[in-house]
Amino acid sequence: MKPVLLGLLALGLSGIAHGGSYLQVRVCDDNGCRETLPVTQHPSCPTPEDCPITFFSIVHPFGYSGVENQVEVSVCLLNDSLELEPSLIEAIQTWNDLVATTENCANCVLIEETPPTAGSFDSYSAQLHELGHCGMGLDHINRTWDEQWDGFFEETSYTRSADVAAVAGAIEVGTDGIRGTLDDFHNGIQGSAKSISWYRKIDNNPFAIDATVIDIGSFDRTLSSLPGGHSWPASANRAVGESLGVPNSQSVMYSGIAREMAYSGLTADDVNMVRMGMTGADRDSGTSDDYSLQVVYDGPCDGDAHLSTISVGLEDLSGPGGPGPIAECRLVRLDYSFSVPSPALTQHYSIVRALGKLPLEVRLNSAYPWDFGPQLFADGFESGDLSRW
């Protein structure tokens, strides 16, 4: 494998803009599926219940243990999936560049809207999304919700939150009728809902691009820092963007990708979540514990997938239950842990894996049609949308 360095992130530079969440986990049991916190496997913790797990944790990439100033995430490509290489390299480059943009989502379709039934899926967009999970430790910006009252939580465009009971009226969409905006309110049976999405204190705008430094001084997840008149953190879905005067824009960590939909880069929200992690244990930018992050392309795995942090490839994920997801990030034999058993890091987790186990795996479902080409025009031109030309 020949490592290829695709970019180097500047150390703790000023950030750009905000709203999103770090990897949480979904637990399914007799009561349905719900979001919950990662469980520590740190040896100093006898059982998860013994450890002070906080909702305000940050999940760092694999390789961060609390002391590094430079973290490297390596990616190899399965040898039978080399058609993914151009778009994979492009996706890696995008995460390395960490440039916030607007109008980054062509043919954007929300979960609540009807997706096209014809056309192909964009491999760059899918890999960008999955690398956001497996590589960056980010979770979806939006949350699941039991809309059908059947005990199963479906994806929605509401901002990600936790501990919202499946009862009528537990999530209110607000007067604007748009899911994910600043006037939503997540309640619960007894007001137990928790905000787990980070937002910019000054304006709660996940699309804003400016010179604001991203750290604990400017970013928060508690409702107490919301601007006056705001009831919940806004998230960067397309409809929220439209309401804020930023059309065709959406976080790549939104949990929906449709045929013919194509991202051309990151939003401020995506960038800021990674930058927030890079502030290190003290969550303060510009201090000695900040770290930089490099994603390195190792080339074809050549049977040595375990040597890289993440292996990427195509695989048939369809089965008797249907066609399956278009892509997935597997944290096989992975867990989260306190990076270092120090008080400062009890609010931090990093992606880890047991020694000798499989690497993180990103798989795109070969049962679906894919567009493998790099996006020359990510504004809809390639799919026939000439409205912006």
Partner 1 sequence: MRAVLAVATMLLTLGPPPEVHSPASGGPDFESASFEVSTDPTDLVLFLTERGGLGNATAFQFLLYGDGRLVRERVDNSNLKVLQSEEVALTFDETSEILDHAVRSGLAEFTSERVREVVGHDQAISVDSSTVVLEMNFIRYERPGLSERAPYTATARLTNPRIYARAYPELTEASALRRLQELVANHFIASSRSESERGNR
Q: Does 147 interact with partner 1 (rule: CB under 8 A)? A: yes
Q: How far apart are alpha carbons 266 and 271 in whole angstroms?
A: 7
Pick the closer one to partner 1 by CB: 115 or 247. Answer: 115
Which range in 87-95, 111-119, 173-181, 217-225 contacts partner 1 by CB under 8 A?
111-119
Q: How far apart are alpha carbons 122 and 258 in whole angstroms?
A: 9
Q: How far apart are alpha carbons 135 and 41 in whole angstroms?
A: 20
Which range in 70-78, 80-88, 141-149, 340-348 contacts partner 1 by CB under 8 A?
141-149
- The number of residues that bind partner 1 (CB under 8 A) is 58
Residue 67 identity (one-letter amino acid): V
Helices (H), 212-279: 238-243, 268-277
Q: How far apart are alpha carbons 102 and 268 in whole angstroms?
A: 8
Encoded one letter per residue, x for contact with partner 1 by CB under 8 A and - for no contact, window 277-316 reads ----------------------------------------
Pick the closer one to partner 1 by CB: 211 or 355. Answer: 355
Pick the closer one to partner 1 by CB: 15 or 180. Answer: 180
Q: Does 382 interact with partner 1 (rule: CB under 8 A)? A: no
**Measured torsion, CA atoms of residues 12, 224, 112, 249, in degrees rounded to the nearest 10:** -30
The closest alpha carbon to 59, from 356, 329, 363, belongs to 329
Q: How far apart are alpha carbons 258 and 107 in whole angstroms?
A: 8
Interacting residue with partner 1 among 1, 11, 13, 25 (CB under 8 A): 25
Cβ of residue 2: shortest distance to partner 1, in angstroms? 29
Q: How far apart are alpha carbons 311 and 361 in whole angstroms?
A: 5
Binding site for partner 1 (CB under 8 A): 23, 25-30, 32-33, 36, 38-39, 41, 48, 111-112, 115, 117, 121, 126, 129-130, 133-134, 139, 144, 147-148, 150-152, 154-155, 255-258, 317, 319-335, 357-358, 368
